[in-house]
Structure 1
Amino acid sequence: MATIAATGPAVRRSADRLLLAGSLAGPVFFASAATQMLTRDGYDITRHPISQLATGGLGWIQITTFVLAGLGGIALAVGVRRTLTEGTGRRVLPIFVGIFGAGLVAAGVFTMDPEYGFPVGTADGPVGEMSWHSIAHSAAAAVAFTALAAAAIVLAVRQARRRTALPAVLNGLAALILLMPMSPSHMSIQIAVNGLVAFTWTTVVAVSLRRSSWSA
């Protein structure tokens, strides 16, 4: 998957740590989100997107989760930049991954509005008018997932040119899922699926690059 430059042990250790951080972003995000889904009163995945966990008195947990996952994405971007030194996409791939990470940080800083009965005590319906921070949250999340879809496309092209068909197809499929239009009636579930696809992708890429960097 990767083309590794002839670098010293210190540089490789630095890249390895960055890739490790990137590989942990997804598992940490979903461990935190799943725990909150099961323990916070009133939360319903069929009605409430994961981002809504960032509202209410315990919202700081999901805010922190977003920020940590975003920093992991940025670490992955730097690790990709230091590991992929030749071939198609070596310059733009880390940029797209970095935008994904930065978008997650922004999505954590700017929270969405409480609605549809969550947190408990919120009116059981959509918010009348979105706040500026909820608009910023939606924009940041959209940019983040679009950037990651672009990264998956770049990697698919890279792998196709290297004649690794199955990884190319899987990356193309990931990009297709991330770019699918949102269905208003199933938006919360679709967002969760997109998150699962996105963080599976980042974890697989990080683990693959770590293996290739130390076997080079």
Structure 2
Amino acid sequence: MTATTATGVPVRRSARTSGRLLLAGALAGPIFFASATAQMLTREGFDLTRHPISQLATGDLGWIQILTFVLAGTGALALAAGIARTLTEGIGRRALPILVGVFGAGLVAAGIFTMDPEKGFPAGTPDGPVAQMSWHGVAHSAAAAVAFTALAAAAAVMSVRCARRRAVASAVLSAVAALVLLVPMSPDRMSVQIAVNGLVAFTWTTVLAVSLRRAA
């Protein structure tokens, strides 16, 4: 028999909704990297040592990466909603959904506002940095910076939460994720560092989503 809360929402249905939101959050990372990896291997002229993943959103096939950003961001927003439903007490119950939500919104914005073609990509682009960034290139960089800073803060909050609950392994993993995401960008290795940051970010959100889903 399904119990009912004081607000009239069936507990079983609410738990099912939370599970679906967390599942969407767990799938965001794998979808993003499956799409990005396929594009990196098949699009002519792309070189991860020179071109950040975001540059895949330029050119005739750029719509694929734009859609990838929007889907991943939507998944992160679903994760934020799932966190809000699942964490009802303790440190971070208010901050975590907001911070993860900012991450998701930033990813959507990063997809809508694309980088400028440069350094020979897409094929036919002059082999050098763009002379002056466009407004949407500036918006893309700002959205990405805000998104990953917010997620670093979320990982730091989760580290404190786990430490207070004596979940040492989870606390350490979240702390490491926060530190990696906060390392300043190196101009010489920026594209590779961005890829690493993306891998760390989406690994952390996937692990968080799966863990909360199991607990819920």
Residue by residue over 1:59-83, the C-alpha shift from the partner in whole angstroms, topping out at 9 and shown as x without a partner, is 0000000000000000000000000
- Name 1:118's counterpart in structure 2: 121
The aligned counterpart of 1:204 is 207
Q: Match of 2:90?
A: 87
Q: Which residue of 2 aligns with 1:26?
A: 29
Could you tell me which amino acid in structure 1 is paired with residue 110 of structure 2?
A: A
Return the alpha-carbon distance in structure 2 between the equivalents of residues 26 and 34 of structure 1.
12
Q: What secondary structure, in the 3-state scheme, does the structure 2 residue paired with 1:185 have?
A: coil
**1:160 and 2:163 correspond:** yes
Count residues in correspondence.
209
SS in 1 for 2:90: coil
Residue 42 of structure 1 aligns to a residue whose secondary structure is: coil
Paired residue secondary structure (2:188): helix
- Counterpart in 1 of 2:172? 169
| 1:69 pairs with 2:69 | no
Identity rate of aligned residues, in percent?
73
One-letter amino acid of the structure 1 residue matched with residue 30 of structure 2:
P
> Which residue pairs with 1:192 in the alignment?
195
> 1:161-206, CA deviations, whole angstroms, 9 ceiling, x for partnerless residues?
1111111111111000000000000000000000000000010000
1:8-63 per-residue CA deviation (whole Å, 9 max, x = no partner) reads 10000000000000000000000000000000000000000000000000000000
Please tell me the root mean square deviation across aligned C-alpha atoms, in Å: 1.2
SS of the counterpart of 1:124?
A: coil
Q: 1:100 aligns with which of 100, 103, 107?
A: 103
- For normalisation by structure 1, the TM-score amounts to 0.95
Aligned to 1:56: 59
- The unaligned stretches of length 5 or more in structure 2 are none
Runs of 4+ more than 6 Å apart? none
SS at match of 1:26: helix
Q: Does 1:11 align with 2:9?
A: no
Ranges in structure 1 where 5+ consecutive residues have no aligned partner: none
Question: Is structure 2 residue 81 aligned with structure 1 residue 78?
Answer: yes
In structure 2, give the amino acid aligned to 1:15.
S
Letter in 2 for 1:85: T
CA distance in 2, matches of 1:164, 1:12: 24
Q: Cα deviations across residues 89-120 of structure 1 (Å, max 9, x unaligned)?
A: 10000000000000000000000000000000
